[in-house]
Amino acid sequence: MKTVNAQYNVAAADSLAVKIQGVKRREMYERFLATTGVGQDDTIIDIGATSDRSYEHSNYLVAWYPHKARITAVGIDDDPVVLAAVKDGFLIGTMGQNPYGQAYIAAYVINQVHQGCKKKSGAPYFIDSGTLLISPDKAATYKDDFKTLTKSIVSGFKDKYLSC
C-alpha cells in the first residue's frame, strides 16, 4: 500500500473513496481512448498533470497509456512537489503564477493612488501580473525571472493605467 500524500490526498489507498475514484478515472480513460481514437503514433498533451503518485490512478493517463513516450505533460503552479517533477523529467514544465508580481504591483498601485494618481479613463480593470513556463532549465531561476517580468510590467504601468 502506498503512503498517503497529504498535500493532494486525505483518503487511505484502500478506502471506498479512492476505489470509486479509480473506477471513475478508468471509465474516463476508456471513454477518452474510444472518443479520440488516439493511436500509438499520436502525441497526447496532458495539461495539468500532477506529480502525485499516491495511487495507481493519480495520473491515470500516464499510468495506463501504453505509449508513454507519446505523452507530453505540463503541470500547474510551483509547489515543491510539482517543481521536483519538472526537475526529474516527469513533467516538461509547469505554468507558474507570479505571486511576487501580484504583491509588488498591488503595493505599487496603492502607493501611486496615495500620491494622487487616478485610474486612466478607458484603462482596463484587469491587470495581468504574468505567468511563466517553468521548464527544467528554469527551475532554479524562475523566481528571478518573475522579478524581471514584474519590473517590465511596472515600467509601463503608469502610461497604460494611470493619470498622475
11 compared with 97, residue with greater pLDDT: 97
Indicate whether 20 pLDDT > 80: yes
Q: Is the dihedral of CA 112, 118, 119, 121 positive or negative?
A: negative
Q: What is the mean pLDDT of the chain?
A: 86
Res. 22: pLDDT tops 80 = yes
Supply the pLDDT for residue 1.
42
pLDDT of residue 8: 58
What are the cell numbers at 93? 514544465
Rounded CA separation 141/149 (Å): 13
**Other CB atoms within 10 A of residue 91 CB:** 26
Work out the number of other CB atoms within 10 angstroms of the CB of residue 58.
Answer: 21
Confidence of residue 162 (pLDDT cuts 50, 70, 90): very high
Domain range annotation of the chain:
42-56+70-163
How far CA 119 is from CA of 15, 104, 159, 161, 164, in Å, comes to 54, 18, 11, 6, 9
Which tens digit of pLDDT belongs to each residue from 104-126? 999 999 999 999 999 999 998 88
Look up residue 126 and give its three cell numbers.
Answer: 484587469
Dihedral sign computed on CA atoms, order 89, 92, 95, 100: positive
For 38-95, what is each residue's pLDDT tens digit?
999 998 888 776 666 677 787 788 788 999 888 887 787 887 878 888 888 878 889 8
Helix 99-114 and helix 142-155: axis angle, to 10°?
30
What is residue 52's predicted lDDT score, i.e. its pLDDT?
A: 66
Please report the pLDDT score of residue 4 as a whole number.
46
In the chain, pLDDT over 90 holds for what percent of residues? 49
How far apart are alpha carbons 142 and 18 in whole angstroms? 35
pTM above 0.85, yes or no: no
Residue 50 region by backbone torsions, left for phi larger than 0, else alpha for psi between -120 and 50, else beta: beta
Closest CA to 94 of 134, 38, 141: 134
Whose cell is 522579478? That residue is 147
Mean pLDDT of the 144-154 span: 96
